Structure 1
Amino acid sequence: MEADMSIRRPTRSSNFMLIASIVILSVLSCARCQDFGYDGAKGPSHWGEQYNTCTGKHQSPININSLDVKKVNLPPLIMEGFDAHPQQTNLTNNGHTVAVTMKDHFPTISGGPLKGVYQYSQLHFHWGDNDTVGSEDMIDNHIFPMELHVVFFKQDYKNAKNAMKHSDGLTVLAFFYEISQDDNPSYEEFVQLLGNVTSSHKTATFEKPPSLRNLIARDLLHYYTYDGSLTTPPCSEVVTWIDFKEPIMLSHAQIEAFRALEDDEGHPLTHNFRPIQPLGDRVVLYNTDEIVKDVDLTDEIPAEEIDQNSLEHEKDRRPVKGKKPHPDSGSGSIGTSWTVLAMALVFRFYLTGSWK
């Protein structure tokens, strides 16, 4: 018996079903990547319905109360490659924010609260529809008009995607913006390029790529740090946040240029910040150049200090030459002794009738 070696050719209907399946899967996959927003059914209050991690106990952003932080003296932050200008820097509107990526240039950061070396991944921004809102973290209930997030992943984990599987996978340097009367020249080309990426998923390239140092604040010593999460889905709690105290100054017109961008649905991307999350049991640290020393009142006083104190007290008890002793001093003890002796003699005379 011969085996049937004929090959069935795919019918037109089977081809249609295959193509339809691919299209549907692609749409579902894309929808899954873009199924969050900042308003309505896709807004932050609904993120937890599809991303359980968005309901975690250590979420970001938070309001930092400067009176409740713990002051510390952390090791210096070590920033490598922050002053170099990349060969190529791209600016992309991804429908949720505008992000900056660098080609063949990978600045790193270590030190401070970090254990290990973290490598640059990208930076992006969060803003509001006016100058009174926009930042994600708040300081003493103060909201800034915009916030910069510079994202790094731990080099031990090779890339950002893999780093998100680890509790210490990412660190984010956060910088706040305040309004200035004058334009910030370091952001001049940046703001011009925003006009080329108004539509979602558009990319533009810098003619003169700025260094990372050009885009951030000068004071990198004073900062708050705490453990938190990504501020967009999946809200993974894998971030060491470092929020710098000194703001970056931009003019109203420069920040207004961000509000002209469009989201995935072609609507103006006027705001893209997540509301404040509970601090919970976390402690926020504040790095300062003030000397911070914990005083332990249970520590014993060194023996040499005790001896010195004894000598000082002994010196105080010595009579000063030419000065009469105080009635309560040593002469009072001698007077008391003579009184006791006289009373003993009187008692003896009373019993024996003799002074002998």
Structure 2
Amino acid sequence: MHYLILTAALFAILQFVNGNFGYSPRHQHTWAKEHKHCSGEWQSPIALSSARAVPLPLPALEMISFHNLLSGPINVTNNGHSVALSIPKAHLEERLPHVFGALLNKGQNYEFEGLHFHWGMKNNRGSEHILNGVRYPMEMHIILRNVKYPKYDEAVQYKDGLTVLGIFFQLQEEDNEKFDPILRTLPNVQWVNSVVRMNASFTLASVIPEDTDIFYTYKGSLTTPPCNEAVVWIIFPTPVQISFRQMSKFRMLSNGEDVLADNYRRLQDIRNRKVYVRRLDSRHMNYEDAINLDIEQLEWIWR
């Protein structure tokens, strides 16, 4: 009896520490019971389709300081759901990378908040979004906060609070050396709730695709509880390369009970949302179309 009580208590503590949600089908089914936004109308992730997306000559996504080394100490955390990188605001020496353009609100900037990963135990799964029926082995999310909201906790309360860049990963034989600064840190956060200071620097440009001219964009939500519908998603179809050996390093992490993997949310119903894809080639539109496009009149839903 004492053993059962102790086991139940430890499980409760783990659930509390790890954010009180899991990724098994049973756990995901209960997310909405604790977090009402998880049953909302504009949830993420979704299945993206080049055939169903609306092609338009959208403005480019302007990425400022993405080629600069991230300033300040970088914390790497195993939070039981993912491995996340962040920069404590108290240590900032200069402005963080930020973005504007695309279909983000005119005149508004979104500043780097952090990044994290979703990956599978097997190579045929892991990414949260699916593109043309393909689920990649890993997806990285770069979270950026609308600077008109001073803090992340405030930003998630508004529909224009965040933009998240989604980056797919594709397996290859050779290592991607650009990822070494992050990968060298992973053994130090093997156990849940461990936090370490990264002893190397990197740029955001080094961990995103070289081709960012084409992207998909739609209105959605956080893919973890509390699932706030505060995100303009920008998904790049060109994947970043990562080796089989490098991928295996993510699968050595622990979530406190088992291997940390398959940490992706099931696909959500797209409902009446539009998905736009930025295309500029002459097969779809011409220069005059781009000049005359009034992006402020574009709608995120079908009426």
- Which residue of 172, 180, 205 maps to 1:188? 180
Cα distance, 1:294 vs structure 2:
11
Q: Could you say which residue in structure 2 is the equivalent of 1:89?
A: 74
Which runs of structure 1 show a deviation greater than 4 angstroms over 4 or more consecutive aligned residues? 27-30, 293-296
Letter in 2 for 1:106: L
- For residues 294 and 209 of structure 1, do their structure 2 counterparts lie closer, same or farther at Cα, with a shift above 3 Å needed? closer
Indicate conservation of the 8 Å contact 1:75/1:112, yes or no.
yes
Superposition TM-score, scaled by structure 2 size = 0.84
Give me the CA root mean square deviation.
2.2
For the residue of structure 2 that corresponds to 1:91, the secondary structure is strand
Q: Could you say which residue in structure 2 is the equivalent of 1:35?
A: 20
Residue 70 (structure 2) pairs with residue 79 (structure 1): no
Residue 263 (structure 2) pairs with residue 272 (structure 1): yes
- Structure with bigger helix share is 1
Residue 59 (structure 2) pairs with residue 67 (structure 1): no
Q: Could you say which residue in structure 1 is the equivalent of 2:274?
A: 283
| Distance across 2 between alignment mates of 1:39 and 1:285 | 31
Cα distance, 1:266 vs structure 2:
3.5
| Distance across 2 between alignment mates of 1:102 and 1:32 | 21
Letter in 1 for 2:98: T
Residue 94 (structure 2) pairs with residue 110 (structure 1): no
For the residue of structure 1 that corresponds to 2:31, the secondary structure is helix
Q: Which runs of 5 or more residues in structure 1 are unaligned? A: 1-23, 297-356
Larger radius of gyration: 1
Q: Could you say which residue in structure 1 is the equivalent of 2:235?
A: 243
What does 1:1-356 align with in structure 2 at a 5 Å threshold? 31=16, 34-39=19-24, 41=26, 43-85=27-69, 86-103=71-88, 104=92, 106-115=96-105, 116-263=108-255, 265-291=256-282, 292=285
Indicate conservation of the 8 Å contact 2:115/2:140, yes or no.
yes
- For residues 256 and 30 of structure 1, do their structure 2 counterparts lie closer, same or farther at Cα, with a shift above 3 Å needed? closer
Indicate conservation of the 8 Å contact 2:280/2:286, yes or no.
no
| Distance across 2 between alignment mates of 1:246 and 1:30 | 36
Larger RCO (CA under 8 A, 6+ residues apart): 2
| Distance across 2 between alignment mates of 1:159 and 1:80 | 20
Deviations 1:41-100 (A, max 9, x none): 5x2111111111111111100001110111011112211121111242221111110011
| Distance across 2 between alignment mates of 1:119 and 1:127 | 25
How many aligned residue pairs are there? 269
- Identical aligned pairs, as a percentage? 32
Indicate conservation of the 8 Å contact 1:259/1:271, yes or no.
no
For the residue of structure 2 that corresponds to 1:120, the secondary structure is strand
Superposition TM-score, scaled by structure 1 size = 0.72
